[in-house]
A and B are shown apart, each in its own frame.
Chain A
Amino acid sequence: MTRVLSIGAIWLALVGLPWWLPLIGGYTALGSKILIYAIATMGLNIVLGFTGGLSFGQAAYFGLGAYGAGMTLKYLAPSTPLAILIGTLVGGIAATLLGPLVMRRRGIYFAMITIAIGQLFYFVMVRWNEVTGGEDGLAGFSRQDIHLGSLVIPLTATNYYYLVLICFTAAVAVMWALLQSPLGHTWVAIRENRRRMEFLGIRVERYVWAAFAVAGFITALAGTLNAMLFNFASPQDLHWILSGNFVIMIVLGGMRSFFGPLLGVIIFVVAQDYLSSVTGNWMTFIGIIFVLIVLLCPKGVLGLFARRTEAA
């Protein structure tokens, strides 16, 4: 019951965000960014926290989604839903196709292979000047108003935030359903004891592949929304440093819990936004936060609370 109430409270807070966030010194685009990164990291967490795979190249699919959406709007058709669809498919299909390469590895090898894939995509985007704009990034497109029959919804900052919120809710619902299903339980079991699952006859690699593919689709969705938030896609959206930031946000909030990534994203994005305005040494503070989290609460912020409620 408390769980439903707390989820309800979170959701209400998110719905009312465009009103209360500016009051405490925030801005709507920040709220949109938080939700977008939350979608990306919750998707990544399916692999990282629930299946136990150290994926360090997730930004690749984020970036693919971003460029997919941007290029759709720029070269194909001025339609926001189409951009979202195509961007998500591009990133998701890439993850699905590359899954077989990734699924057989574990530990540091898994991490490095995801980094390798991520960096290869990064270099393609950065060097393909004619199509992607190269270092300068992809510009010259913008999100288009949504036409529902005769109703035209202009995508102002606030309306766009709600679009993002709708996508967030949908993504969360899908992930929740997946994680509650036998598939989700298998993932957790693989994380807990891979060898036993192998002995039980489960094709562990297939499940890792599935997790990787699902995560790819969801992160790509986040990427499409990000491209349309600022009407800009940049190669830095694909770089391993962004992948690393995603992982940090998940660990910060709590790897093992469903909403951990959301909390981690809120703390990280807000801290970075605030600190970089206030001091020229914000990198030091962010670095100190990383170090302290690892040393003092490796289970993340939610992990601090979980210990009290979980049975021994």
Chain B
Amino acid sequence: MKTPIFTTPFDRRTVIKTGAALGASTLFSPPILTYAQGETPIKIGMHDPLTGTYAAEGDSEARGAKMALAEVNAKGGILGRKVELLIEDEGANAGIAAQKAHKLIEQDKVNFLMGSVSSATSLSVTQVAHEKGVVYMVTGGHTDPVTGSQCHWTTFRICTTTYMLAAGLAGTLHKKFGGKWYFITPDYAFGHTLQESYAKLLKEMGGTVLGNSLSPLGTTDFSSYLIKAQQSKPDVLILLVDGQDLVNCMKQAAQFGLMKKFPIGGGLSELEVLRALPKEAKQGWWTLEWYWDQPNTPHVKEWVAAYQKAHNDGTYPSARTWFGYAGLHALAMGANTAKSIEAVKVAKALEGLELPPEVKLQPNKVYFRASDHQLMSSEFPGEIIQDGVYPRLFKVADIVAGDKIALKDTGCKLDYPA
């Protein structure tokens, strides 16, 4: 094993291309960025799962970030310096995410951190970022404590909280179908808080929770929970599971004929999930955090076209893609507004920062709330199109502004250094 293990930092690391196209994955990518004369680049470190169960979501986020990178650099970078993006795969493993965060900060000397799909990784990295005093833009880790009980001055978040997810859709479901709901909830923090948010909203509207089945993460067989749900005869069956769990749950619900028996609703869904559903399972009301088909919103069509030009594999951008895109742009804007890359100044500049139309790609005012660093991004509740063919899988019912539905007090106490 006499291979040279490390080479100098300049040419060792490159932007990773993850192969998602059929048979066209490169194993080694050449460095694609060159440096301006004499100026050291600004480095942003991104961590995401590129292998494992969440690889599809992580890959989408990385694609979005890369698109933003190209745009930022085309406009002169950050403070006139070129920006470099370093992407690390953590496979949704919290320990490895923390290790990679250390690596990005100590070894690669990144100026900013961003990323995450798994809630656990966002929690472990937020600690590292805080320890090291590096601004961290959480793109896709939904667990509430990130901008709640475990918030830090260094951490900002793009994706919405569980309360916002519930609040975006609860009213519609209640009005359309009634107030007796049965829940199937994934048994971990994200699921619990999402269910509690829904339950609270339901009670306020006068409805009742008929029951709540907790399914372990990674459950493949939802039969027993669906059986219990069916026995309770709900007005709506609420499926709060996400990712592959949601795909399996919906398929089984469809196979059992439950989708014909009562309406299905839920919490978070994503384009990646909808795409994996067979036709008989394409039903129900869900919330997306961003959708590509917004005919009335400026800039969206151009962005989708730019995405397709960059990737050319027939895919459409998803909410995850937008998280990565908005996340990197936000960091660049924060630094440019602060006219500095010092963490405290950038953090202060990000508070209240509003995303311009070509970045937010949605109606409504989208800005970082100063009290908890949470982006007030909109929710896109809507209905799955039954005979939909990718990418036309979802019909958005409404685009609800984030600051109208977010919890006023998330329990966050920002801990700026004295």
Contact = CB atoms under 8 A, between A and B. Distances in A.
Q: Are the chains A and B members of one assembly? A: yes
A234 B217 contact: no
Contacts of B124: 137, 139, 230, 232, 234
A281 B27 contact: yes
Interface in A132-148: 133-137, 139-140, 142
Contact of A136 (B1, B102, B120): B120
A180 interface: no
Given A127-B216, A234-B120, A25 B107 contact: yes
Contacts of B8: 25
A274 to B, nearest CB: 6
Interface in A39-74: none
Interface stretch (A26-34, A79-87, A109-117, A193-201): A26-34
Interface residues of A, number: 42
Interface centre among A29, A231, A271, A280 (most CB of B within 10 A): A280
A14 interface: no
Nearest to A252: B1
B413 to A, nearest CB: 13
B106 A139 contact: no
A231 B217 contact: no
A139 B131 CA distance: 13
Majority DSSP secondary structure for residues of A touching B: helix
B103 interface: yes
Given A136-B120, A278-B28, A231 B127 contact: yes
A127 B103 contact: no
Interface in B174-231: 187-190, 192, 216-217
A267 B189 CA distance: 36
Contact of A134 (B13, B98, B188): B188
Nearest to B18: A280
B99 A279 contact: no
Given A230-B124, A279-B16, A129 B187 contact: yes
B63 to A, nearest CB: 13
Contacts of A139: 123-124, 127, 150
B98 A230 contact: yes
A26 B28 CA distance: 21
A28 B106 contact: yes
Residue of B7, B95, B106, B107 most packed against chain A (CB within 10 A):
B95
Interface residues of B, number: 46
Interface string B245-281: 0000000000000000000000000000000000000
Given A25-B8, A30-B99, A139-B127, A277 B88 contact: yes
Contact of B19 (A133, A142, A280): A280
Contact of A283 (B28, B51, B127, B192): B51
Contacts of A226: 95
A267 B16 CA distance: 23
B42 to A, nearest CB: 19
Interface string A17-37: 000001011111110010000
A135 B188 contact: yes
Interface in B101-137: 102-103, 106-107, 119-120, 123-124, 127-128, 131
B188 A232 contact: no
A278 B187 contact: no
Contacts of A237: 95
A119 interface: no
Contacts of B98: 230-232
Nearest to A156: B131
Interface in A226-246: 226, 230-232, 234, 236-237
A282 interface: yes
B25 interface: yes
Given A277-B13, A280-B16, A281-B25, A230 B127 contact: yes
A142 B127 contact: yes
A237 B120 CA distance: 13
A230 B187 contact: no
A66 B89 CA distance: 23
B294 interface: no
A273 B19 contact: no
A133 B14 CA distance: 35
A301 interface: yes
A296 to B, nearest CB: 11
A234 B94 contact: yes
A155 to B, nearest CB: 11
Given A277-B13, A278-B28, A29 B187 contact: no
B17 interface: yes
Contacts of A33: 99
B75 interface: no
Contacts of B102: 27, 29-30, 157, 230
B6 A26 contact: yes
Contacts of B103: 27, 29-30, 273, 277
Given A135-B188, A135-B189, A137-B120, A279 B27 contact: yes
Contact of B28 (A232, A267, A279): A279
A276 interface: yes
A127 B189 CA distance: 10
Given A135-B120, A280-B17, A282-B89, A274 B6 contact: yes
A22 B188 CA distance: 38
Contact of A278 (B1, B12, B188): B12
Interface of B: 1, 5-9, 12-14, 16-19, 25, 27-28, 50-51, 86, 88-89, 93-95, 98-99, 102-103, 106-107, 119-120, 123-124, 127-128, 131, 143, 150, 187-190, 192, 216-217
23 contacts: A25-B5, A30-B102, A126-B216, A135-B119, A136-B119, A136-B143, A136-B190, A137-B123, A139-B127, A230-B128, A232-B94, A232-B127, A234-B94, A236-B93, A236-B95, A271-B5, A273-B99, A277-B16, A277-B88, A279-B28, A280-B17, A280-B18, A280-B51
Interface of A: 22, 24-30, 33, 126-127, 129, 133-137, 139-140, 142, 157, 226, 230-232, 234, 236-237, 267, 270-271, 273-274, 276-283, 301
Given A279-B28, A280-B50, 6 more contacts: A25-B6, A134-B188, A135-B217, A136-B120, A234-B95, A277-B103
